[in-house]
Structure 1
Amino acid sequence: MRSPRSDTEGVFYKNITDSHDPFTTDIELQSADDSPLMNHTVKSFLWKDITVTVKDHKTKQPKSILDGVDGLVEPGEICALMGPSGCGKTTLLNVLAHRDAATGAKVEGHTLVNGTAASLSVFRTLSSYVEQEDALIGSLTVRETLHFAARLAHKNTLSAKDRKSRIEGLLDSFGLRNQSNTIIGTPIQKGISGGQKRRVSVASQLITGPKILFLDEPTSGLDSAASLEVVSYVKKVAKKNNLIVIASIHQPSTSTFELFDKLVLLSGGKQHYFGPVDGVGAHFELLGFPMPRQINPAEFLLEMMNIDFASHQEAAQARLNEMHKAWITSPCAKELKTQMTISLKNAEPFTLKAEPSKGNFPIVLMTLVHRAFVKSYRDVVAYGIRIAMYTGLAIMMGTVWLRLHTEQDDIQPFINAIFFGSAFMSFMAVAYVPSYLEDRATFVKERYNGLYGSAAFIISNFIIGLPYLFLITLIFSSIAYWLSNFQPTAHAFFSWIMWLFLDLVAAESLVVLMSSIFPNFVISLALTAFANGLWMSVGGFLVTPTILNVFWKYVFHYIDYQSYVFQGMMVNEFQHRTYGCGADCRCIYESELSDQCRISGTAVLDQYGYKTHETGKWVGILLAIVLGYRLLGWAALCLRK
């Protein structure tokens, strides 16, 4: 067995040379008093008899996804999980990383660190997981991505100098020095390349100080040169820092394949090989399957393991079964059992030195707000496009309902304008869906790696949205309100702003709720639009509350945030205003001013059943609805762990 360096106490990185060549930059491990583990050194990570079964949807019988898989990886080694599509390699990676294997799956077996079972909290401290998709914030630069990752991981336990030192070391080690001030990239703004994104994803996890790093398809979507580039950097850092790296990989090139130290070969959930990469050829040669020269070894192995396209399925399956039986009795399997026995005999439990400090929450919250602020003002998709969209909507509304008069013929246009200004403004909040889903993807990755929880994410998301929503409200109102000739007083104008701001806050909170429950762009967009359509229908404009049937009134009307905004704006406009009845003095609304050929605005309110002097009550209900949406969004994120 390979012996880990005895002086390693925590995987923390520091650039100790001035070289910018990633292969000459030296990175060393440093002891850290801030590490929460009493026993810092990871000497081995093994898994034994990993079996995963699910219920088959057709037969309703248990179906095996993984069957008795074993393995052991030591510090400084990178291990590849390989096999044809559907062989179970992603499931195995998730089990090893203490993630959900599959919906309704039953998981059996053991994953042991230093020969002992680590609790979930300890394991999350020890490990990091890099998703197949790069869950990066596209509007941040490479340096900013590492900077915020370091702040979230160490929560001010590092000085600014030490944090900068670690960031500089990783930039050099992963060859990202020249791209350090380049943004990751958004659908609108071009950023770094795909290979560089993968390196940033790995580097942002390494800065958190893991001992075990899991990579899900790190070369997915990359060409052979970029794949070699990414795996080369990972191998370099793993060797330098005694990291354990386990990666699922689909079909690597020969050069990339030979960079791995160990290989787990799966087919149909069964293990067909575990051992050194340079020994796999000899193993299959003993079985009567010599590896041809001048062929990619990975392609050769995958072709043997894949029977999906075999012309004789039964014969191919029988051949695979024989290979599996031969593996069980092979010298490589016996060597693995011996190494696992030694590891179990030398078991060293991990124990937490102390519970995480509760004082970390404000630090995490401030970091998330800071990062969200940088993203929001730099990424036009987040709020820039919405500001432009709402500005155009304000100009359209102001010119369609241009200079309405205080005559009875304009009463209905005033009401229509109020409905449009409130309902359609909240409806257009669906434009926030893609930005929130990007933030949520980053949150899911960081929560899995134990950096923070749902509460910090929901609160920071709420805080950062407030100034932008107020800016949108102010721009829209300054244009549409005065062009349409709503009540021309400062009090009425600022009351309108208050109602519209609360309307947008509630609408964005609805987006957060729907997108948290259904984190799919099309589904969350459709459901948010449907919900807003429902609120429009029962809000009081299309059917007045006085005649709305009891089901819709008592089930939906009273929890409809748009209904409180609409009646608040109606009272704001009509409470202190009168309207002329025309030259023939035929008033369409009866009021105490009819004998003066005038209509009191309160008569309009009476038609809708709206009372005055209840602004405080309606504002309180709106705030409660906003809080309810956010709490439900938080609960949805918690339940989807």
Structure 2
Amino acid sequence: MAVTSAGSENTDVERGRKEIGSVDVEQQAVAEAHLMNTTVRNITWRGVTVTVKDRHTGLPKAILENVEGIVEAGEICAVMGPSGCGKTTLLNVLASRPTDTQNVEATVLVNGNKPSRGAFREMTRFVEQEDALIGALTVRETLQFASRLASTSSLPRKERIARIDGLLDSFGLREQANTIIGTPIRKGISGGQKRRVGVASQLITSPKILFLDEPTSGLDSAASFEVINYLRGVAKRNNLIVIASIHQPSTSTFNLFDKLLLLSSGKPHYFGPVAGVASHYEGLGHELPLHVNPAEFLLELVNIDFASHRESATDRLDDLQIGWANSHGQKDLAIAISNVEATTTGTLDIDVAEKKPSPPSLILTLLHRNFVKSYRDVVVYGIRLAMYTVRLAIMMGTVWLRLNAAQESIIPLTNAIFYGSAFMSFMAVAYCPAYLEDYIQYVKEKHNGLYGPTEMIISNFFIGLPYLFIISVVFSVISYWLSNFQPTAQAFLTWVFWLFLDLLAAEGLVVFMTSLFPSFVISLALVAFANGLWMSVDGFMVQPTILNVFYKYVFHYWDYQKYVFENMMINEFSDRVYACAKTGDGGPGDCQCMWQTDLADQCLIRGQGVLDQYGYKPGYMGKDVGIMMGIIIGYRIAGWIVLKLKK
């Protein structure tokens, strides 16, 4: 018998049905067809204990303590408790996800067996509390790419489209199907709709067990009811297991759950049928009042954060926990878990009807998704292109405007070469927020077993190639000819080539740093610091011939800006001559040359004389290109290693 309260919620529910929309049985069957043919019968957990080191005392502090439970196929279980009681930590442990804890002890079994990590990832999906969605994609595209990255990619296109349409209708997203999720520049769907998209994108990937962290966060009571009601229907029809943390649901939503796990201070206070929670607490002397939401009553009962008499409230909470530990419900739970473990066959047979995509297929899908994001979201490359064009190219071309081939232009030309190369790479920090969004999406999809760091790094590298090349060409077309660098086609193309390598290396640095420290502020600061260091030791600020030994051998030789600056200098000065300043009446020999070369008697300066001040000589471009390619690939490999090692 469901827990009820006198307050009727028919109005909210009816409003929710209008918002979500009616879905006929055929549409639901099509949308859920990929959930069939599973052999997962149950998931059990016992002895779940998580401890951390207390910051103040240095002693172990329990986040979770001896939590246990069992959920059968077709059931939907709610995990409830006050804020900070360990709900999310428990979900992470059950889902075999990493936690920021010191020690985790747990026995989590599927069908009474310990599945391999790969098999467990194949059968489970996790929907996080914070929506990790790509803002530039539409709602439909989000589901399409989620389907293509999962085992459902092997299905015929028409069937995948039918499933997507069914889920869009089921979650009330049909009208928003072609609306983008939302970026900092462009407004998209609402927060509640994002929650529904997050759940739908995981349902389409063929899970057998679905974990949800606060799936109704940001939804009103009507939309919350319909989301949980739909999940309940999917679970019943297809033997799906759903475990969701939830905070203060309405009465109608609360009654949709089959089972309830109630936590407080990391300890279990109840596990069993929702219909039995009222009688359990009545037996402990806490009768459920009339006209009160049962979920609110339970949360207030086990929450002592705001108790006026802390000591008495703690004693009451301890009594409630002991009451559960000594109850028939707890003993029945222990017996049920033992029976499952006793009847196990020793093997875990998971029927995966659909083939998982191959690595090349995953890379192509990620490339497609990244391409859609790259041209829709101006934060990715659009702002950078505008910034490089307006701020750098036009400003540089008009400040260093039409410098003539005379000795007074040599220092300005050198400064322009440094400015053009160094600040182009420095401004790659603008890529940090775009890559950070990709990283957060990658973490979610890696935890769900969709793809790994190899696919992530390769797709990220290739999607940037055309955009960085376009930026290099546009910048060069404007600034190179305005400044009057070496006026030959070969010199221009050489400039573009080195600028392109410069941007590739700079973006690789962003990928590495942001993967290492996935925080916008920290990654931005570190990338800026690294580029500032490279600018200091690339040979312009201090000539390589006099750069001190420490910086020369520790940083200078693997500074990608060093090779760009050196080869741009060689490109400008190696085959060019400059007129000396005229003195006297300007006749032959009446001149003063700042750089003495073999052309001094002709009142000319051979460009190699300028290069000699830096110790630069032509003829090593092939070697330098090889070193640059090594640095570019090295940053990507470093980023791959970081992603690979991170839990």
Q: Which bin holds the TM-score, normalised by the shorter protein?
A: over 0.9
Aligned to 2:297, the other structure's residue is in SS state: helix
Which stretch of structure 1 is more off in the superposition, 221-230 or 582-591? 221-230
> What amino acid does structure 2 have at the position aligned with 1:21?
S
Which of 41, 44, 66 is the equivalent residue of 1:43?
A: 41
CA shift in 2, pair 1:595/1:155, >3 Å: farther
Task: Check if 1:193 corresponds to 2:190.
Answer: yes
1:15 — aligned with what?
Answer: none
Aligned to 2:84, the other structure's residue is in SS state: coil
Task: Check if 1:634 corresponds to 2:640.
Answer: yes
Aligned to 1:178, the other structure's residue is in SS state: coil
Aligned to 1:151, the other structure's residue is in SS state: helix
Which stretch of structure 1 is more off in the superposition, 192-201 or 593-602? 192-201
CA shift in 2, pair 1:102/1:612, >3 Å: same
> What amino acid does structure 2 have at the position aligned with 1:250?
H
Deviation at residue 232 of structure 1 after TM alignment: 3.2
Q: Write the deviation string for residues 378-406 of structure 1: whole angstroms up to 9, x where unpaired.
A: 11111111111111021111111111111
Q: Which consecutive residues of structure 2, in runs of 5 or more, have no partner in the other structure?
A: 1-19, 584-590
Aligned length: 619
1:561 — aligned with what?
Answer: 560
Aligned to 2:271, the other structure's residue is in SS state: strand
2:129 — aligned with what?
Answer: 132
1:438 — aligned with what?
Answer: 437
Deviation at residue 420 of structure 1 after TM alignment: 0.7
Distance in 2 of aligned mates of 1:353 and 1:256: 32
Q: Write the deviation string for residues 582-632 of structure 1: whole angstroms up to 9, x where unpaired.
A: 212111111111111111111110011111111111111111001110001
Contact 1:46–1:72 (CA<8 Å) still a contact in 2?
yes
1:279 — aligned with what?
Answer: 276
Contact 2:152–2:206 (CA<8 Å) still a contact in 1?
no
Distance in 2 of aligned mates of 1:152 and 1:487: 49
Aligned to 2:467, the other structure's residue is in SS state: helix
CA shift in 2, pair 1:178/1:29, >3 Å: closer
> What amino acid does structure 1 have at the position aligned with 2:320?
M
Which stretch of structure 1 is more off in the superposition, 129-138 or 497-506? 129-138
2:12 — aligned with what?
Answer: none
Task: Check if 1:617 corresponds to 2:623.
Answer: yes
Contact 1:514–1:527 (CA<8 Å) still a contact in 2?
yes
Which of 141, 149, 152 is the equivalent residue of 1:152?
A: 149
Deviation at residue 353 of structure 1 after TM alignment: 7.9
2:524 — aligned with what?
Answer: 525
CA shift in 2, pair 1:189/1:498, >3 Å: same
Distance in 1 of aligned mates of 2:208 and 2:618: 64
1:330 — aligned with what?
Answer: 327
Deviation at residue 358 of structure 1 after TM alignment: 9.9
Deviation at residue 254 of structure 1 after TM alignment: 3.0
> What amino acid does structure 2 have at the position aligned with 1:98?
S
Distance in 2 of aligned mates of 1:226 and 1:542: 61
Deviation at residue 356 of structure 1 after TM alignment: 11
1:67 — aligned with what?
Answer: 65
Q: Write the deviation string for residues 288-310 of structure 1: whole angstroms up to 9, x where unpaired.
A: 11222222222222222122232
1:114 — aligned with what?
Answer: 111
CA shift in 2, pair 1:30/1:515, >3 Å: closer
Deviation at residue 103 of structure 1 after TM alignment: 3.3
Distance in 2 of aligned mates of 1:542 and 1:221: 54
Deviation at residue 79 of structure 1 after TM alignment: 1.1
CA shift in 2, pair 1:356/1:24, >3 Å: closer
Contact 1:213–1:244 (CA<8 Å) still a contact in 2?
yes
Which stretch of structure 1 is more off in the superposition, 552-561 or 359-368? 359-368
Deviation at residue 283 of structure 1 after TM alignment: 1.4
Distance in 2 of aligned mates of 1:250 and 1:596: 86
1:234 — aligned with what?
Answer: 231
> What amino acid does structure 1 have at the position aligned with 2:613?
Q
Contact 1:155–1:363 (CA<8 Å) still a contact in 2?
no
Contact 1:27–1:240 (CA<8 Å) still a contact in 2?
no
Which stretch of structure 1 is more off in the superposition, 163-172 or 559-568? 163-172
Which stretch of structure 1 is more off in the superposition, 169-178 or 440-449? 169-178
CA shift in 2, pair 1:235/1:40, >3 Å: closer
Which of 55, 77, 82 is the equivalent residue of 2:53?
A: 55
2:417 — aligned with what?
Answer: 418
> What amino acid does structure 1 have at the position aligned with 2:23?
P
2:612 — aligned with what?
Answer: 606
Contact 2:282–2:288 (CA<8 Å) still a contact in 1?
yes
Task: Check if 1:540 corresponds to 2:573.
Answer: no
Contact 2:77–2:260 (CA<8 Å) still a contact in 1?
yes
Contact 2:422–2:535 (CA<8 Å) still a contact in 1?
yes
Contact 1:22–1:175 (CA<8 Å) still a contact in 2?
no
CA shift in 2, pair 1:462/1:93, >3 Å: same
Distance in 1 of aligned mates of 2:115 and 2:564: 53
Deviation at residue 156 of structure 1 after TM alignment: 4.3
Distance in 2 of aligned mates of 1:47 and 1:514: 38
> What amino acid does structure 1 have at the position aligned with 2:90?
L
CA shift in 2, pair 1:359/1:250, >3 Å: closer
Distance in 2 of aligned mates of 1:22 and 1:441: 33
Distance in 2 of aligned mates of 1:636 and 1:219: 34
1:79 — aligned with what?
Answer: 77
> What amino acid does structure 2 have at the position aligned with 1:465?
G
Task: Check if 1:94 corresponds to 2:92.
Answer: yes
Distance in 2 of aligned mates of 1:265 and 1:359: 39
Deviation at residue 450 of structure 1 after TM alignment: 0.7
> What amino acid does structure 2 have at the position aligned with 1:57?
R
1:21 — aligned with what?
Answer: 22
Q: Write the deviation string for residues 520-544 of structure 1: whole angstroms up to 9, x where unpaired.
A: 1100011000101110111111111
Percentage identity across aligned positions?
63
Deviation at residue 352 of structure 1 after TM alignment: 6.5
The alignment's TM-score, normalised by the length of structure 1, stands at 0.92
Aligned to 1:266, the other structure's residue is in SS state: strand
Which stretch of structure 1 is more off in the superposition, 58-67 or 491-500? 58-67
Distance in 1 of aligned mates of 2:229 and 2:32: 26
Which stretch of structure 1 is more off in the superposition, 556-565 or 114-123? 114-123
Q: Write the deviation string for residues 54-110 of structure 1: whole angstroms up to 9, x where unpaired.
A: 232333322211111111112222211111122111111111001123332x22231
The alignment's TM-score, normalised by the length of structure 2, stands at 0.92
CA shift in 2, pair 1:357/1:612, >3 Å: farther
Distance in 2 of aligned mates of 1:159 and 1:358: 14
Aligned to 2:136, the other structure's residue is in SS state: coil
Q: Which consecutive residues of structure 1, in runs of 5 or more, have no partner in the other structure?
A: 1-18
1:368 — aligned with what?
Answer: 366
Distance in 1 of aligned mates of 2:267 and 2:351: 39
Aligned to 1:468, the other structure's residue is in SS state: helix
Aligned to 1:177, the other structure's residue is in SS state: coil
Aligned to 1:27, the other structure's residue is in SS state: helix
Contact 1:29–1:241 (CA<8 Å) still a contact in 2?
no
Deviation at residue 208 of structure 1 after TM alignment: 1.1
Deviation at residue 508 of structure 1 after TM alignment: 0.4
